[in-house]
Structure formats: C-alpha cells, structure tokens
C-alpha cells in the first residue's frame, strides 16, 4: 500500500521517541517525547521524590536543574495528567462532533451532484445542437440559400451563443469534479478521524499520535499543540 507523506512523517516522529526500558529498569513515561520546557525547549526531566515512604513524581526543567539558567518551574505528574486528559477529552468531543459534520457534508455534496448531472447533460445537448446549427449555416451558404455577409453575421452570432454555452458547461463540469473531490477528501478525513478515535484506549499511543508537544511554563502554565490536520479542526493550540 502507498503510505501518505503525512502518515510517514508521523511514523518518523514516533520512531524518534525512545520507549525502551532505561538502565535502572524503569520504563519511559506517558509523556515521553512530548513534554518540553516552554522557555528553553529542553525535554522535561522526570524526578521521583521520596519522603517518609511516600513517593511523588515531578517534571522539572533540566537546564535549571543543571544550574545553567532558565526559569524555576516544575509540575507534579498527577496534576499534569489531569490537565492533559481534560484537554484531550475536550478535543475528543470536538472530533466526535466532526464525524457528523463530515457525514452531512458528504450528503450535501451527493445531493448537489444529483441535481447537477441532469443539468450538465441538458447543457451538453444544447451546446451540440448549437454547433450543428452553425454547421448547417455553412451548408446553406454553400447551397446559395444565403449571401456571404448574412452567413458571416449569423455564424458570428451563433458562435458567440455556442461559446457562452460551452463556458457554462465547463463551469458545471468543474463544479461536479470539485464535489467528487470533496467527497473523496471527506471520506479520507472520516477514515483518518475514526483511526484517531480508535486509538484512545491506548493512552500512551494515543497521546503520541494526537499531540505534537506539551510545553510547560512558570506557574504550571501548559500549552498543548495538536497534530490534527487542518481539515479536522484547524490548527489547535490550547493554553491552560
């Protein structure tokens, strides 16, 4: 099967994410490859703090942790998950609504095509009839049924009418072609959207496929950039 450029690029991005177990036996976390410091753009570092037998996980800026500048900010993993899943839930509802929009758009295109086809057929017949009338004018002229001046004048007049008909016909055919193309795109978008939604049971895989990056700023401000195509919901950026 032919892989689209968009799908290829998504796969390449996923291959960049290191999901293997680390040397200490821990596995990559839910936000591997997605979480960055919004100020220095370094991947956020996951740190586990243990106190009196209680562990609490934070994400911190590695640049600040190394004493190399940047701002002092961190966010608890549990709090980050709550924010991200709330944002994802909102986007899922938008996407599920978009499925109905795609279906309705396809139905409207089909209805327009059904109305357009008889009009195209009729216009073709009219244009062909007009061209035949112009050919008959020549025969009448050759048979001496009209003079040259009359022939040229009528030929010009009828030719202009035929030209207008053919322009109208070309516009109608272009509209029909555009409707079929839009239906094809809508079907492709709907299939892709269904695939996005089916992934939501695999939390980590789903996040990797729908989120481009999560940027963390001071005071726990979060910016989520999504991977949706413009035909889905446009370029979506949320600041939480």
Helix (H, G, I), strand (E, B), or coil: what is residue 56? Answer: strand
pLDDT tier at 91 (50, 70, 90 boundaries)? confident
66/163 Cα distance (integer angstroms): 75
pLDDT in tens, 160-204: 999 999 999 999 999 999 988 888 877 766 665 566 556 556 777
Tokens 């509209």 found at = 175
pLDDT of 23 reads 40
141 alpha-carbon distance from chain centroid: 60
pLDDT at 10: 46
pLDDT: is 227 or 156 the higher one? 156
Tell me how long the chain is.
240
Bridge partners of residue 54, in order along the sequence? 51
- What pLDDT shows up at residue 193? 58
Half-sphere exposure of 55 (CA within 13 A, CB side): 5
CA distance 210 to 108: 29
Contact 183, 202 (CB under 8 A): no
Q: Is the pLDDT of residue 125 over 90?
A: yes
Beta bridge partners of 113: none
């Amino acid at each position: 099967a032919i892989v689209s450029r968009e799908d290829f690029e998504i796969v390449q991005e996923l291959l960049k994410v290191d999901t293997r177990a680390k040397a200490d036996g821990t596995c990559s976390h839910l936000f591997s490859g997605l979480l960055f410091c919004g100020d220095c753009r370094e991947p956020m570092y996951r740190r586990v703090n243990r106190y009196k037998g209680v562990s609490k996980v934070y994400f911190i800026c590695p640049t600040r942790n190394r004493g190399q500048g940047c701002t002092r900010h961190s966010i608890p993993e549990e709090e980050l998950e709550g924010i991200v899943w709330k944002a994802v839930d909102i986007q899922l509802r938008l996407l599920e609504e978009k499925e109905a929009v795609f279906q309705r758009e396809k139905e409207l295109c089909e209805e327009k095509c059904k109305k357009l086809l008889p009009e195209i057929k009729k216009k073709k017949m009219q244009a062909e009839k007009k061209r035949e009338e112009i050919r008959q004018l020549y025969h009448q002229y050759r048979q001496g049924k009209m003079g040259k001046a009359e022939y040229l004048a009528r030929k010009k007049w009828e030719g202009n009418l035929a030209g207008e008909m053919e322009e109208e016909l070309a516009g109608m055919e272009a509209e029909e072609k555009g409707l079929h193309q839009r239906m094809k795109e809508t079907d492709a978008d709907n299939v892709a959207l269904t695939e996005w939604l089916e992934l939501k049971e695999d939390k980590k895989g789903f996040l990797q496929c729908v989120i481009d990056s999560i940027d963390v700023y001071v005071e726990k401000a979060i910016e989520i950039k999504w991977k949706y195509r413009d035909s889905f919901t446009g370029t979506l950026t949320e600041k939480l």
